[in-house]
Amino acid sequence: MTSKAILFDMDGVLCDSEPLIAEAACRMFAERHGVHPTPADFHPFIGTGEDRYLGGVAEKYGVRLNKPGDKARVYEIYLEIIPGRLRPLPGVREFIAAARADGWRLAVATSADRIKMEGNLREIGLPEATFDACVAGEDIVHKKPAPDIFLLAAQRAGAPPERCVVIEDAVSGVRAAKAAGARCLGLTSSHTAEALRAAGADWTAEGLDRVTPALFEADPGK
């Protein structure tokens, strides 16, 4: 049988790093540019990759970013503050174990930069070796909602896109999954079930503690 794979977005699916990366970014803007954004300023740019995440807020406050120095400083602060604070979301470990037992190949596909991906996976106790493939923002040119990241993750995981299920929490990620030809489970950690369904999600759930991989053997929507 052709291999099947589950492709996990990271933030909002495996862990919730958004409050911590927003905290780090706020500190960087205050420290290096003398402006004081709020965590809410970053919300529209969640899931778009750190360049746009920082750039969108910089535009709002009339700041000209000093790349790559500003981004490097955000990551420096971020890696200092996540120990003991960043944890896997409920059900993540159990879901991954069940998926392995059911014969699924596993991959991470995140718009975040590799330094953040590696830090997050290490901190939540699911290092890169847990997965068959890990794809980060630097690995592709066109970010979500373009399908590139999921197409590459499927290729590296050794499964055709039509035999893949993407697990996402962002509307742009759901659209990317569907554009890649994969099925998609939308988690309501960042957006409503209605918004995720409108973007094309085949199933929705509150979190991985509410579903098992057996869901993917059923017809979507049932």
Say if CB 211 and CB 205 are below 8 A apart.
yes
Of 11, 70, 113, 202, the active-site residue reads 11
The reply to whether 11 belongs to the active site is: yes
Alpha-helix residue ranges (DSSP H) falling in the chain = 18-33, 50-60, 69-81, 92-101, 114-123, 148-157, 171-179, 193-199
**What residues contact 2, with CB distance under 8 A and at least 6 apart?**
159, 160, 163
- Known catalytic residue: 113? no
CB-based burial label for 103 (10 Å; 0-12, 13-18, 19+):
exposed
Query: Quick check: 51 and 72 in contact, CB under 8 A?
Result: no
**Of 9, 132, 148, 202, which one is the catalytic site residue?**
9
| Under 8 Å between Cβ of 187 and 198 | no
What are residue 29's phi and psi, to 5 degrees?
Answer: -60, -40
**How many whole angstroms separate alpha carbon 216 and alpha carbon 183?**
9
The upper half-sphere exposure of residue 104, i.e. CA atoms within 13 Å in the direction of its Cβ, equals: 26
For the annotated catalytic residues, the residue numbers are 9, 11
